[in-house]
Amino acid sequence: MTTNYTLAAIVPAAGVGSRMQHSAPKQYICLAGKTILEHTLAKLAQLKQLTTIVVAVSDDDPYFATLEVIDQRIVRASGGKERADSVLNGLLALADNPPDWVLVHDAARPLVTLADIECLLSECISADEGGILASKVKDTIKRGATHSQQTVPRDNLWQALTPQLFKYHDLTQALQTALAQQVTITDEASAIEWANKPVKLVVGRSDNIKITTPEDLDLANFLLQKQHSENAL
């Protein structure tokens, strides 16, 4: 697929999955016949414009090497202490041949649709602005520790999803600077915001869930089976 820009993906996959309370890191749990990470990589591998898919995994990860290598574009990078460190390591792994744009997508989000990713690419690249898939908050939001102290106004409130798409050099510089100054970074957009650069909000499906706690598994399994049967039609 020819484009007038180059694009690489980074998949942070070095977490331990503590909230999942599972014997292995959650990205290696099998759902609908494959590990969560294999589902995510198979989804990204359908993007023919990707030059490289960097997967950041822990140096002592014994599982990654056993995965079926589904695409020659996949390269391994070292995971870091926090997710942002893993992403930065992934960016630095591309430094010798940097892409114009980089798509960062959680290994724990196998349900993302290609349509949503294509929409993110189209809207951001045509606007020449980085951006993220996000879903509008649907529930009433409360703030408080054990009792509700405040109902947070819901207008213009979004849940950030992934992929998040930014220019390689913008994201690398923003992450390096923010991490050096110990700014709390939980997604790529927060580093870009900290650097006072725009983050476009692109509406994404709310079923692009981040598999995080045990109750997410049955829903994810159902939705993965559904996606697989729809693709087989």
Ligand X SMILES: Nc1ccn([C@@H]2O[C@H](COP(=O)(O)OP(=O)(O)OP(=O)(O)O)[C@@H](O)[C@H]2O)c(=O)n1
Q: CB under 6 A: which stretch of 1-9, 19-27, 64-72, 141-149 binds ligand X?
A: 19-27
The nearer residue to ligand X, 103 or 125, going by C-beta atoms, is 103
Residues 171 and 92: beta-carbon distance below 8 Å: no
C-alpha pair distances (Å), 7 with each of 51, 93, 210, 213: 6, 14, 23, 31
| Main-chain phi, psi angles of 159, to 5 degrees | -95, 125
Residue 16 touches ligand X, criterion: CB under 6 A: yes
Sign of CA dihedral 102, 108, 110, 113: negative
How do 200-203 and 131-136 pair as beta strands?
parallel
Q: Which of 54, 56, 117, 220 binds ligand X (CB under 6 A)?
A: 56
Q: Which of 210, 211, 224, 227 binds ligand LQXTBERG (CB under 6 A)?
A: 210
Residue 206 touches ligand LQXTBERG, criterion: CB under 6 A: no
Residues near ligand LQXTBERG, by CB under 6 A: 83, 106, 160, 162, 186-187, 210
Residues near ligand X, by CB under 6 A: 12-19, 26-27, 56, 79-83, 86, 106-108, 210, 212
